[in-house]
Amino acid sequence: MSTRLWTGIGVLLLALGALVWAGDTSQVREQIQQKKVMPGQSARDVRTAIGEPTKILKTQTYWTTTEDWVYGEGKDAILLTFEEGKLRKISDGSSFNPK
């Protein structure tokens, strides 16, 4: 097989792994409990610690930009709220209703 094909397969496997990681809220919760994700961190630091969110909801007003990062779905979901690129709040699925 060619190098190009193996590279494509590798990229596909990494992408699938990222999707599985983002959907596993137990790993995200563990990282938060271990204080690897805390308010005040940058979006880049959080993404490095726990991976890509399942969904990002962005709200922009005249004064500020807010992003809600959703990990998982339903009552097991975790919501991270960023304002101006910094993590401000961590919530669980019972306290929000993502669209």
What's the pLDDT at 99?
A: 52
Query: Rounded CA gap, 66 and 72, in Å?
Result: 19
Burial (0-12, 13-18, 19+ Cβ within 10 Å), 55: middle
pLDDT tens digits, one per residue of 1-58 = 565 644 444 433 344 344 444 446 787 778 777 768 889 999 999 999 999 999 999 9
Name all domains of the chain by residue range, CATH numbers in brackets: 3-95 (3.30.1450.10)
Token pair 């496997």 is found at 13
Q: Evaluate if residue 62 carries a pLDDT over 80.
A: yes
Q: Residue 78: beta bridge partners?
A: 71, 92
What's the pLDDT at 39?
A: 92
For the full predicted model, state whether its pTM sits above 0.75.
no
Give the residue, 98 or 54, on which the prediction is more confident.
Answer: 54
